[in-house]
Structure 1
Amino acid sequence: MQNDIVNLRAKLAEKMAGEITLSENPGETIKKWRKNFGISQIDLASSIGVSPSVISDYESGRRKSPGTTIISKIVEAMLDLDEKAGSHKIRAYETMFLDRYDSDVILDIHEYRSPVPLSKFARAIGAEKVSGNFDRAINGYTIVDSLNAIFQFSANEFYRLYGWSTERALIFCNVSTGRSPMVALRVSTLKPAAVVLHGLESDRIDPVARKIASVESFPLMTSMTEIEEMIKTLKGLKE
């Protein structure tokens, strides 16, 4: 089991460092991964022996993009902090190194090269905002067949919905009240940046689903846009 974690960590470190190094905005990518791991700027800075302002400056672009040595230290610090907390986030990414997704469950998954404002995303799919703060950005989206996900995905496979970033919108289709997918998110270690309940009028959303969105603090919206049209629109959405 320990060897599995070591191998997984090495693969994840390579993925993270490569993405940061090749990014057009390395600071933004560092911020994305830091948030994915639920790590504060203070804790990350302490782990690599710098002041929090240094991390803040990197992420905001106020400081010159870090070199490969600093990037390596930042990545290793994130992974070290997660290991000390039980390796929960590292394990959550395990299925991302396995085979591609079952198209019966994941209808579409996409990563944006740069963050897209959530409000712009919502307008693109003609969404009705139900609750939450939409003043944030997302790094991608996943369109999920809710029923097939429940019947076909194990608890570990559920993490595959997140692609390479939790800062994404999960769009659940084939829902009746929205309760089931929201309960699944409630017990999940990883949380999305936003949730879309497709084909469901806002007044039909289960009160429990609304409550979970409030407790977990992620924006909730509905959309009646046809899936094929939605996919075409979202793939062409510019950052």
Structure 2
Amino acid sequence: MDIELREKIAGEITLSDSPAETIRKWREEFKVSQLELSNFLNQSPSVISDYETGRRKFPSIASVRKIVDALITIDERRGGYVIKKYKSGVPSDALIDIKDYDRDVPLEKAIRAMNGKNVSHVSVERNIRGYTIVDGVKAILAFSYYEYSKLYGWSSERAIFFTDVKFGRSPMIAIRVHPLKPAAVVYIQPDNVDDLAIKLADIENIPLLITEMSPEAVSHVMSQLR
């Protein structure tokens, strides 16, 4: 269990001016329903509801820790996606998923899994050692130079996915100006991919791919690759 994250959440709840809202915020961040949390804690669903609406007296520190431990444990059993977001060093509201593989995975295999299409003129005959999925708009607008480097996890030989792509220029411009280069760039359900984005991909020798899968579906299939 991640002690740092556990302490961060518990501290935020206990020190909050509105602990009820903060409990709800973190439960929703972990995508855990009131019923799932109450079942894990072996409590009535009404207890969690009462905490979050303020109808019940603020829980003791021990109870807060039990709630936090439950959220983190549930996430660990699901693959630890929320935990990875907060441990990566990337702004958590921009990072959707990140994972490193323990072996080379052919990019062509990943393309098949995501029903992807290569819109560049660059060969996809290469391997990846992980992937990162980010909110395209938030990543471009909010990431510092240091945070951008964190997108690469343990290896730059990875596919970087961007959501909310309008024309495709901004992500490829960001890729071009940064010294670290990914093995592939993928746009998730882009509105459009203009000629400049493709030209930049060709110049950098980075395959530019698109997929019509949802971010959740992409995360699932990429996490299953072996």
Task: Note if 1:209 corresponds to 2:197.
Answer: yes
User: Per-residue deviation at 1:121?
Assistant: 0.4
Distance in 2, matches of 1:116 and 1:139, equals: 6
Q: 1:162 to 1:99 in 2, by over 3 A?
A: closer
Aligned to 2:89: 100
Aligned to 2:98: 109
Partner of 2:180: helix, strand, or coil? coil
Distance in 2, matches of 1:133 and 1:205, equals: 18
Partner of 2:210: helix, strand, or coil? strand
Partner of 1:218: helix, strand, or coil? coil
Task: Give 1:221's match in structure 2, choosing from 196, 206, 209.
Answer: 209
Aligned to 1:43: none
Give the superposed CA RMSD.
Answer: 1.4
Aligned to 1:27: none
Amino acid at match of 2:185: V
Q: 1:117 to 1:100 in 2, by over 3 A?
A: same
Once the two structures are superposed, what CA deviation does each residue of 1:51-100 show, in whole Å capped at 9, x if it has no partner?
A: xxxxxxxxxxxxxxxxxxxxxxxxxxxxxxxxxxxxxxxxxxxxxxx863
User: Per-residue deviation at 1:214?
Assistant: 0.4
TM-score (norm 2): 0.59
**Structure 1 alignment gaps of length 5 or more:** 1-97
Task: Give 2:172's match in structure 1, choosing from 158, 171, 182.
Answer: 182
Aligned to 2:107: 118
TM-score (norm 1): 0.56
Task: Give 1:145's match in structure 2, choosing from 135, 142, 150.
Answer: 135
**Structure 2 alignment gaps of length 5 or more:** 1-86
Distance in 1, matches of 2:137 and 2:207, equals: 22
**Residues paired across the two proteins, number:** 139
Distance in 2, matches of 1:100 and 1:166, equals: 16
Alignment of structure 1 residues 59-74 onto 2, 5 Å:
none
Distance in 1, matches of 2:129 and 2:103, equals: 7
Distance in 2, matches of 1:188 and 1:196, equals: 17
Distance in 2, matches of 1:230 and 1:99, equals: 19
Distance in 1, matches of 2:92 and 2:111, equals: 24
Aligned to 2:156: 166
User: Per-residue deviation at 1:208?
Assistant: 1.1
The answer to whether the 8 Å contact 2:101/2:130 transfers is yes
Partner of 2:100: helix, strand, or coil? strand
Q: 1:166 to 1:182 in 2, by over 3 A?
A: same
Q: 1:99 to 1:228 in 2, by over 3 A?
A: closer
